Amino acid sequence: MRVELDEPRCVASGQCVLAAPEVFDQRDEDGIAFLLDERPAEASLEGVREAVVVCPAAAIRLVER
């Protein structure tokens, strides 16, 4: 599985970082999220799925390939 983050849509809420800190982080200068790991381990997928649901900007997708 692969995580996609649409950074221009991000509103810097930080919900993704709270849900999956091993996959997401935020830039210091503006709080916009970025990916630490676009192909996270199976153990991280539950947190990524939560991040998809709680993202207020709907900027995260989990692509199953």
Query: Going from the N-terminus, what domains does the chain have, and what CATH number goes with each?
Result: 2-63 (3.30.70.20)
CB 4 within 8 A of CB 33: no
| Per-residue pLDDT at 19 | 98
For residue 3, the cross-strand partners are: 62
Q: Which of 28, 11, 59, 30 is CA-nearest to residue 3?
A: 59
Closest CA to 19 of 1, 30, 3: 3
Q: How many CB atoms lie within 10 A of CB 61?
A: 13
Q: Is the Cβ–Cβ distance between 20 and 40 less than 8 Å?
A: yes
| pLDDT tens per residue across span 19-51 | 999 999 999 999 999 999 999 999 999 999 999
pLDDT of residue 25: 98
